[in-house]
Amino acid sequence: MSFLKAWEVVRMSALSRRWRHTWASAPCLDIRHPCACDNRADHRWYNTFVNNLLLRRSPGVPLDTLRLSWTHDGASDMWTAHAVRRHARAIEFSGARHYPRPEPAYTSFLFGNFKILKLTRVKMRSELLAQLCSRCTCLEELELKDSNIHGHGVTVRSGSLRRLTMVSCFAPKGLLVDAPGLVLMRCTRPYNFVPKIRNSGSLVTATIMLDDTCLFRHDGDERPHMEDHGDDDDVCFAYADGQNPDDSESAESHAEDPDCTESGNDDHTADHGGTASVYPSLNGDYCGSNAITVFGGNGILRSLSNVRTMELLAHRGEVLLRSQLRKCPLFKNLKTLSLGEWCIGPDFDALSTILEHSPNLERLYLCLDKAYKSRGEINPSGRPFTCNHLKMVDIICLTDDTMGDKLAEFFHATSGFVFILRMATAPQAHGRRTWRRTKLWRVLQRAYEKARAGSEGKVVQEQGPCK
């Protein structure tokens, strides 16, 4: 019953005598409800219902998880404080469908022993974020989605934080994350400033997804480009992962917070988790415009040098990641790598640089843009690289994108490693568009003929759909 809404749990308790008091001991309470500003919501009835639900819970049963939405009358702050007093392990707070973004009373969070905190579409001062991470000594997972962190740049220190996720968040200039125990870091489409990372020796999985168009500095405008991403986004970026970022929530929560997502998982998802499924952009191709000034991100690759799984995804012409390649560190522990089209230049030099500094790489995923027709002439003359442990190269692109063939030729000419082909026979739906995850096997069949003649490369074909 923990996966049902709170009022649905109460209704279920009326179906059987055995379930009569189940609602009073449910470990998870989902009290998300349309706000009073929505004409559908009867907030007076709902506030009375939630108050009775919290007060009449079994006193000896701990409250494990609380999911709630912002309310204008301040009731949500009172419910949050109650959950903190009941030693809730996880709190999920959403301010979706409110403009401007609400700013809850965060003082209630400062005295909690919860381990998981997820905030969606809220506003908070950078000083409060620093206090939240430093004073909540049990906090292990922090997720911020579509939120504004305003104020001056501060250092966010935490000795307990292990997983940090920031999706489409406005970050103040100078924001620094100092968490020695951090094992997972996801920074997706940051606005205004790319946070810096310090003491990242324990980091195992990292995802950086950038869009330079979000890093403009507009006076008095925190979110100059996009407030919400609806279902009608025209340009999407295919990621190597098929995982839905909100797959832990109910179907109703998806309806409350629409996003351009895809469904279904593939073998890449099973391999190393991954993150969001599609990447909305304004135009899909900004080609490193001189009008873009990048803020933050200095030493971002150096801070990720110890990771085992890394995703560096961006559109063609991205500035920050290419500039950091000038001092590219050695990724000695890296096993799985996902790259976007930002590294697919005319000569594939950026791609060669990363592979040259990843000697133990086993799996490589290349995610090409949908808007590929604006590419210039490609001359794959990147320098040779050595990846003795590389087992698989997976190219995610549209079926009529010839870049896949050129990439396959490039890998065969520069590395000569063992190819494992997975030929997808059925397209996968990404949002409202159809994409196909394929191996460009025609070129590799020619390589197979050479391998039979004594070449070191060997081609293995696996017929049938990808699993």
Give the per-residue SS3 of 220-286: CCCCCCCCCCCCCCCCCEECCCCCCCCCCCCHHHHHHCCCCCECCCCHHHHHHCCCCCECCCCCCCC
**In the predicted model, what is the mean pLDDT of the chain?**
74
Residue % of the chain over a pLDDT of 70? 67
Query: What is the pTM (predicted TM-score) of this model?
Result: 0.76
DSSP states of 130-179 as a string? HHHHHH-TT--EEEEES-EEESS--EEE-SS--EEEEES-B--TT-EEE-
Q: Which amino acid is at 129?
A: L
3-state secondary structure 38-72: CCCCCHHHHHHHHHHHHHCCCCCCCCCEEEEECCC
CA atoms within 13 A on the CB side of 7: 10
pLDDT tier for residue 93 given thresholds of 50, 70 and 90? very high
| The two structure tokens encoding residue 378 | 């490609």
Backbone φ/ψ region at 40: left (φ over 0), alpha (ψ -120 to 50), beta: alpha
Q: Residue 153 and residue 403: Cα distance in Å, rounded?
A: 41
Q: How does pLDDT run across 163-218, given as a tens digit for each residue?
A: 999 999 999 999 999 999 999 999 999 999 999 999 999 999 999 999 888 886 54
Distance CA 392, CA 398 (A): 19
Judge whether 245 and 261 are in contact, CB under 8 Å: yes
End-to-end CA distance of the chain: 32
d(CA 444, CA 429): 26
The model's pLDDT over 229-247, given as tens digits with 9 standing for 90+, comes to 433 333 333 333 434 333 3
Give the pLDDT of residue 195. Answer: 93
Q: Which residue has the higher pLDDT, 152 or 225?
A: 152
Q: Sorting pLDDT into bands at 50, 70 and 90, what band is 38?
A: low
Give the confidence band of 227 by pLDDT, cuts at 50, 70, 90. very low
The region that residue 386 occupies, defined by phi over 0 for left and psi between -120 and 50 for alpha, beta otherwise, is beta
pLDDT at 221: 45
d(CA 48, CA 216): 45
Run of H or E residues at 10:
helix 6-13
> Average pLDDT for residues 411-420, to the nearest whole number?
61
Please say if the pLDDT value at position 455 is more than 60. no
Q: How far apart are CA 119 and CA 23, in angstroms?
A: 25
Cis peptide before 195 (omega within 30 of 0): no
Q: How confident is the model at residue 43 (pLDDT cuts 50, 70, 90)?
A: confident
Cα 9 to Cα 18, 36, 65, 86, 216, distances in angstroms? 13, 22, 15, 20, 47
Q: pLDDT higher for 458 or 67?
A: 67
74: CB partners within 8 A, 6+ apart: 105
Cα separation of 90 and 206, whole Å?
23
Rounded distance between C-alpha atoms, residue 111 and residue 104, angstroms: 15
Number of H helices, E strands in the chain: 11, 21
Provide the pLDDT confidence category of residue 259 given band limits of 50, 70 and 90: very low
DSSP assigned state of 384: P
Cβ–Cβ under 8 Å, residues 384 and 353 = no
SS3 110: helix
Which tokens in the block code for residue 162? Answer: 């292990």
Structural tokens at position 277: 């499924």
Amino acid, single-letter form, for residue 446: R
Report the distance separating Cα 233 and Cα 76, nearest Å: 32
